[in-house]
Structure 1
Amino acid sequence: MTNATDTATVDPITLDIIENALKNARYEMDGVVVRISLSPVIREQHDEFPMICNERGQMIVGQFGSYIPSVVEKFGGDVNEGDIFVWNDPYASKGSISHNNDWCVMLPIFHEKVLVGFSSIFGHMVDVGGTVPGSMPANARTIWEEGLRVPPVKIYSKGELNQGVLDIMLNNSRTPDMNRADLMALIAGCRTAGTRVKELCDRFGRETYMTACDMLLARTREAMRVVIRKYIPEEPVSFTDYVDDDGLGNGPFKMTLTISRRGDVAVFDWTGTDAQAEGPINFHIHEGLCKLFFGVYMIMSFDPSVLFNEGFYDLFEIVLPEGSLLNPRFPAALSNRLNTHTRFFDCQAGALGKFVPQLSMAAGYGTSPHFIFSGTDKDNKYFQLMELLFGGVPGRPKGDGFDGHAWWPLFSATPIEYIENYYPVLIERYQPIQDSGGPGLHRGGAGIEKVYRLLEKGQVSIHDDREVVPPWGINGGLHGGTSSKWVIKNGETEPSRIPSKIDNLKVNPGDRVVFKTAGSGGWGDPLERAAEIVARDVRYGLVSREQAEKSYGVILTADNEADLAATAKLREAAKKERGEPPAFDFGYTPPERQAAE
């Protein structure tokens, strides 16, 4: 197909209006979804990802992309007005979504019977069946254990609901009411985008709209070409980080990324990454999504003004060795793939940090911590709380990392009032963890401690990482704190430590679960951080007096104010003893180095 930009152009003002109208429509999709959904994961935490695409299935605005063409191809062009597609099988959809909990909806958009684009959203369902509540078993060895798998099917065909498909999907969930509401919310969000795109075609003309979409792709491509030329080295640069374990006692698992440039093309090569895990931390990533993740990181790091879309895809080359942690063979388990997914970004930060350290960032909390509490209450009603927790976002060139923040910018914490009103749980403590943010000129974000007092008998599942391998610091910054999990039985005072990945932990009324997430690495020399800011962090409880002196070289008065004269003297001595700060502080000895030694 010939792009519209080959024959026509759109004036800059119209292009700007269409661009911002599409951005607004994308955020309106979010608004519609969170108002209709019922589950705390989507309604409160916003674990849903919308996009608007052109007629070829390329994302123009959104957060994820690349999967539309493969779904259209599966149906051999049988795509009609009023059709709505749904699926959740990562393998059948070529990795467009990465575990069974994500239900994806796609709607073709027609204007006067002409296909002008697609809208799509996927969102995390609280439960899709499988061996454990929440459908993310920590000990799964195959995807068969992780719940219902639905290949791309039409849930609406020319406007008519396929009740059979809906019934099958809901019949295999422990939370059918929530799933139904959340699915219909995703569909409503897609329909909203369809309405807005049709309005743009009515307002400016269909050809103008479609040409504008192609111009937005071309503009992003040119901007990315400049970024690649400036920030990607021709000579290969490699970096390795680790996932703690796979939930079955295996690990740590190595992830190695090599970045290089060939002309205008950036090459991202995962050769050297460990073979697929026995447990469910494998990440079956679509090559296009892999490009998207690299692209969004580069845009956010080097030029945030660039519109995030798929225009740059041909400028990226991806190598994903088959049978590896990032390209597992069917039927590898996938449910806890976010432990690997987020390390993806740490590896990219580390590799780019070797070439442009002044613009890179440290490592973060490196996963997506989950807390799931399920059971039957005193009224014999089933309950299932699922919450995503957050940790330290890394120190960066611009400033300190965020404390207890999500990797995904639009995610938010579940309000404590919501949890306590709808579930038999009391939240006794929710606070940053002192000294968990890596010391640096710009401090790493702190992890969080959340204490759940459980009011009913039930079972708990926990998924987390960065318990063994700390988040590293960069440019002289130091590593951040690791995660830990504890249970305090009713009537006892001493906590017992539990693994970072565990299912079906039996709990009783009055038991408490203490969930501590990892912090993040610091950026830059901590001995250069303003003493007054260190003193402020001590007063806020983010840094201890001991760490202020040991890592920052700051002497405090009795009322936690900086003693500037004593601090200057201590720092001068500390710099002489230390010498030049290291480029990276890992806080551990990598396994390869241990073996060599």
Structure 2
Amino acid sequence: MTEQRREAPDRTDPVTLEICWNRLIGVVNEQAAALQRTSFTSIVREAGDLSAGVFDRRGYMVAQAVTGTPGHINSMALAMKHFLAACPLETLRPGDVLITNDPWLTSGHLNDVTIASPIFRGEECVAFFASTCHTADIGGHVLSAEAREVYEEGLQIPIMKLYEAGRPNAPLIALIRANVRVPEMVLGDFHAQIAGGAVGGERLLEFMDEFGLERLEPLADEIIGRTERAMRGAIGALTPGAYEYAITSDGFDEPITIRARCEVRGDGLWVDYAGSSPASRRGVNVVMNYTEAYTTYGVKVIVSPDVPNNEGAFRPLRITAPDGSILNVRRPAAVAARHIVGHFLPHAIAGALGQALPARVMAEGSANIWGVQVAGKDEHGAPFTYVFFSSGGTGARATKDGLSATAFPSGVLGTPVEVIENLAPLVVERKCLRPDSGGTGRYRGGLGQTIAFRARTREPYTCSILCDRTAHAAAGFLGGGPGARGVVLIDGVAPANPKAEQLVPPGALVEVRLPGGGGYGPPAERDPDLVARDLLEGYVTRP
């Protein structure tokens, strides 16, 4: 006698819905935890440069793990539609695993690989678990902004089956192995993503059985609908009108303008980037998927930060950027360092919407994380390639100082010195907060940090620093002062272009001084007790 399923609960009951929601969050958090614990790289384990989420059969994101970057999470939500277009439900079987790193379909550059696992109950697909991770290497050029076309930046994997009915796609795996510098780490992380999806799938099926859910869609519709209504209600409470703001990035060899126009129309919001710079000749270009991802995040954290992030958060927004512009680049433009420009988008949104909601936004911050990529041969002649991330200061807020050495908007964590020195032939001589780098104001901008290191090599090695704010400082808000600009030094000398690849002599000291965030409000209004504390803690060297 077969066991009968429990009668499905009433999902409109707020208590039951809250229980179901927390179970879903627990499920995707287990997915992310399994992924991180089995990862082969510090990029995923320590820095948390990943995303994880659960989707219904339609490709709608229902819930995301608390760990993850907006650029990965929101672009992955858009990518699932592409997965289903290429591999409709009727073509999938238990044990299939899908993969792609197409920048125009997923997270904007080749190093971010998205893997999606359909979850079956018997012969019926009931959901998908997907994750996006920054892989240790993808072949081609070392990670930098130097390339002129995406073909130079590494191996492109169209939407394919990495596993089919539980069997590995041996030709694809052989192709990947032959085209990357560290195949064990790359394939190890791919399988960590698969393991995370498998754990998530097991927990989801347990949850569905326990609550008598034949399909995920009815619960998904309730959750997504509530998010959409909350977003629309928050947008509808804004004063109707258009709000504009422009921000300047250093670019690669010339400044880049990001111009945002936010128009409130009833319960919808149109964000348009007309007037932004054209595409760059180098790899700082942004694909539309990534533009939509960080724009959605920038709006949500201001307008309705407390509601869950899922399909419903995207629906009230219309996001446009001119075709061929820096924010909607065409193939085959180079895109490896797309985060340098993409991480400015929430700041542009804040500058615009801050005119309507000044108490909910922060001043401009350092914006993008600084990625330091090193590659060469160690003292024993063995090849190495390694990347680590670090962050400057965030902008000050309406009621608090900015956060020091903290990544906003990405949320990516800095890699501990002990991990860097264990995994790469680097010796970090100094890592500390950078005094006087936060912009002055009623509330001070967050401080940048200084990191200085040498490589243990016998011959020159390549160092690529994906940086910004070395020419254009983070602006303050409502009278606040700008943050300090970033600096790159090699044996005390600034290279002509800090974003360019540098050939570093053995034993040379590479020093990066990350930028600070802008201040909020007039400096004369700062509490004297806070000024005294800043002096005592060494955050500033003068009153």
Shared fold per TM-score greater than 0.5: yes
**In structure 2, C-alpha distance between the alignment counterparts of 1:189 and 1:9, rounded to whole Å:** 27
Q: 1:291–1:423: structure 2 CA closer, same or farther, 3 Å change rule?
A: closer
Compute the displacement of 1:431 (Å): 1.0
Amino acid at match of 2:469: R
**In structure 2, C-alpha distance between the alignment counterparts of 1:496 and 1:277, rounded to whole Å:** 23
Per the alignment, residue 28 of structure 2 pairs with: 26
Per the alignment, residue 423 of structure 2 pairs with: 422
Per the alignment, residue 478 of structure 1 pairs with: 481
Amino acid at match of 1:402: L
The secondary structure found in structure 2 opposite 1:60 is strand
Compute the displacement of 1:90 (Å): 1.4
Q: Does 1:158 align with 2:165?
A: yes
- TM-score, scaled to structure 1: 0.84
Per the alignment, residue 79 of structure 1 pairs with: 92
Please point out which of 90, 102, 111 is paired with 2:121: 111
CA deviation map 1:475-501 (0-9, x unaligned):
22111111110011xxxxx54445320
Amino acid at match of 2:515: A
The percent identity for this pair of structures is: 30
Per the alignment, residue 592 of structure 1 pairs with: none
Per the alignment, residue 146 of structure 2 pairs with: 139
**In structure 2, C-alpha distance between the alignment counterparts of 1:88 and 1:291, rounded to whole Å:** 17
Q: 1:498–1:275: structure 2 CA closer, same or farther, 3 Å change rule?
A: closer
Unaligned runs of 5+ in 2: 1-8, 65-72
Using CA pairs under 8 Å that are at least 6 residues apart, name the structure with larger relative contact order, 1 or 2: 2
Q: 1:100–1:208: structure 2 CA closer, same or farther, 3 Å change rule?
A: closer
Please point out which of 101, 125, 128 is paired with 2:138: 128
Compute the displacement of 1:436 (Å): 1.0
Per the alignment, residue 68 of structure 2 pairs with: none
**In structure 1, C-alpha distance between the alignment counterparts of 2:280 and 2:410, rounded to whole Å:** 29
CA contact (8 A) 1:363 1:521 kept: yes
Pairwise mapping of residues 215-294 of structure 1 onto structure 2 (< 5 A)? 215-231=222-238, 233-246=239-252, 249=253, 251-286=254-289, 290-294=291-295
Per the alignment, residue 4 of structure 2 pairs with: none
Per the alignment, residue 578 of structure 1 pairs with: none
The secondary structure found in structure 1 opposite 2:180 is coil
Q: 1:434–1:498: structure 2 CA closer, same or farther, 3 Å change rule?
A: farther
Per the alignment, residue 99 of structure 1 pairs with: 109
Per the alignment, residue 471 of structure 2 pairs with: 468
Per the alignment, residue 103 of structure 2 pairs with: 90
Pairwise mapping of residues 183-194 of structure 1 onto structure 2 (< 5 A)? 183-194=190-201
Q: 1:50–1:239: structure 2 CA closer, same or farther, 3 Å change rule?
A: same
**In structure 1, C-alpha distance between the alignment counterparts of 2:533 and 2:515, rounded to whole Å:** 22
CA deviation map 1:511-543 (0-9, x unaligned):
110011111111122222211111111121211
Amino acid at match of 1:79: L
**In structure 2, C-alpha distance between the alignment counterparts of 1:309 and 1:76, rounded to whole Å:** 22
**In structure 2, C-alpha distance between the alignment counterparts of 1:301 and 1:11, rounded to whole Å:** 29
Per the alignment, residue 178 of structure 2 pairs with: 171
Compute the displacement of 1:410 (Å): 4.9
RMSD: 1.8
Amino acid at match of 2:204: V
- TM-score, scaled to structure 2: 0.92
Paired residues in the alignment total 522
CA contact (8 A) 1:48 1:123 kept: yes
Please point out which of 536, 540, 543 is paired with 1:539: 536
CA deviation map 1:59-103 (0-9, x unaligned):
111232122122111124422221110111213x3xx22000011
Q: 1:177–1:242: structure 2 CA closer, same or farther, 3 Å change rule?
A: same
The secondary structure found in structure 2 opposite 1:355 is coil
The secondary structure found in structure 2 opposite 1:459 is strand
CA deviation map 1:384-422 (0-9, x unaligned):
221111111111124111100112565322111112223
**In structure 2, C-alpha distance between the alignment counterparts of 1:378 and 1:452, rounded to whole Å:** 16
Q: Does 1:523 align with 2:524?
A: no
The secondary structure found in structure 1 opposite 2:349 is helix
**In structure 2, C-alpha distance between the alignment counterparts of 1:328 and 1:411, rounded to whole Å:** 25
Unaligned runs of 5+ in 1: 1-6, 489-493, 549-597
Q: 1:235–1:304: structure 2 CA closer, same or farther, 3 Å change rule?
A: closer
CA deviation map 1:345-397 (0-9, x unaligned):
11101101122222211111122211112222233322222111111111112
- Which moved further from structure 2: 352-361 or 119-128? 352-361
The secondary structure found in structure 2 opposite 1:371 is strand
Amino acid at match of 1:465: D
The secondary structure found in structure 1 opposite 2:428 is strand
The secondary structure found in structure 1 opposite 2:500 is strand
Compute the displacement of 1:181 (Å): 1.1
The secondary structure found in structure 1 opposite 2:118 is strand
